[in-house]
Amino acid sequence: MTLLVSIHDVAPPNLAAAQRLWKLCRDAGVVPALLVVPDWHGTAPIERDAAFLSWLRGAASEGAEIILHGERHDEAGRSRALSDEIRAAGRTAREGECLTLDAAELEALVTRGLVRLRALGFDAQGFVPPAWLMRQDARRGIYAAGARLTEDETAIYFASGHRIAAPALRWSARTPFRARASVLVAEGRWRLRRHTPVMRIALHPGDLRHPAVAASVAREMARWTALRSAEPYASLLA
Ligand SMILES: [Zn+2]
């Protein structure tokens, strides 16, 4: 049984929070994948932040997989069709950068991102769209850009055409109600999905801000890592 742990929204404005999550993972014996946003909200190009890059390089040298996670993460300058609104309902506060993109647009975005990461020495094999939102038929654009795997809320997808069902534990600290609800969902996942072959834990910069969420994250990390070993995404490519 496999456990995949990742930290989402790794970008200069979220550096301190990402570092806290990184420490939490390392204390649990886990090297999480880092989902990097090259230009968070169009105002934080990673190339210009030496402290961020130095931390990211250190994490990569400890074995962290670097995965591309959008270009700027938000939906600035994009308009949603009705079908996009339905897919995104309740899922994100306009942080679904890839929600409205077709395959060619997604290919261009992923290509730009991978080029930027490679120029900095990071060999990213995967791409995860912000909020896990993308059009199904656009997914081929990700592979055309050279990424070998991607994921949404329910599964991991490979350029080979393979799909692995993988429930994801994630929390939301955006409002007190969502925080409490996500703690209950996490508890339910443990009871119902304990024996599922591939499980994901997706951590976000806001998770440790809310005490109930922080406690739940620590509890779930401890019990899932006691049950199964954490593996990199790349282990699924073999
Ligand atoms: Zn994200």
How many Å lie between the centroid of ligand 1 and the Cα of residue 50? 22
How many Å lie between the centroid of ligand 1 and the Cα of residue 196? 24
Q: Above 90 in pLDDT, residue 134? A: yes
Closest by Cα among 176, 199, 198, 197 to 186: 199
CATH code of the domain covering residue 177:
3.20.20.370
**Pairs from 227-232 (Cβ < 8 Å, separation ≥ 24):** 227/1, 227/3, 227/194, 228/1, 228/2, 228/3, 228/199, 229/2, 229/3, 230/3, 230/4, 230/5, 230/29, 230/30, 230/31, 230/32, 231/2, 231/3, 231/4, 232/4, 232/31, 232/33, 232/63, 232/65
| Tens-digit pLDDT profile for residues 25-72 | 999 999 999 999 999 999 999 999 999 999 999 999 999 999 999 999
pLDDT range class, residue 77, cuts 50, 70, 90:
confident
How many Å lie between the centroid of ligand 1 and the Cα of residue 99? 12
Name the residues around ion ligand 1, CB cutoff 5 A: 8-9, 130
pLDDT value for 18: 98
For residues 173-199, give the mean pLDDT: 88
How many Å lie between the centroid of ligand 1 and the Cα of residue 110? 15
pLDDT range class, residue 23, cuts 50, 70, 90:
very high
How many Å lie between the centroid of ligand 1 and the Cα of residue 28? 23
How many Å lie between the centroid of ligand 1 and the Cα of residue 131? 5
How many Å lie between the centroid of ligand 1 and the Cα of residue 150? 13
How many Å lie between the centroid of ligand 1 and the Cα of residue 46? 16
Domain range for 41: 2-236
- Please tell me the pTM assigned to this model: 0.94
For residues 112-129, give the mean pLDDT: 97
| Tens-digit pLDDT profile for residues 141-150 | 999 999 999 9
How many Å lie between the centroid of ligand 1 and the Cα of residue 130? 4
How many Å lie between the centroid of ligand 1 and the Cα of residue 9? 5
Q: Above 80 in pLDDT, residue 127? A: yes
Q: How many domains does the chain have?
A: 1
Instruction: Give the 3-state secondary structure of residue 151.
Output: strand
How many Å lie between the centroid of ligand 1 and the Cα of residue 198? 21
**Over the chain, what is the mean pLDDT?**
93
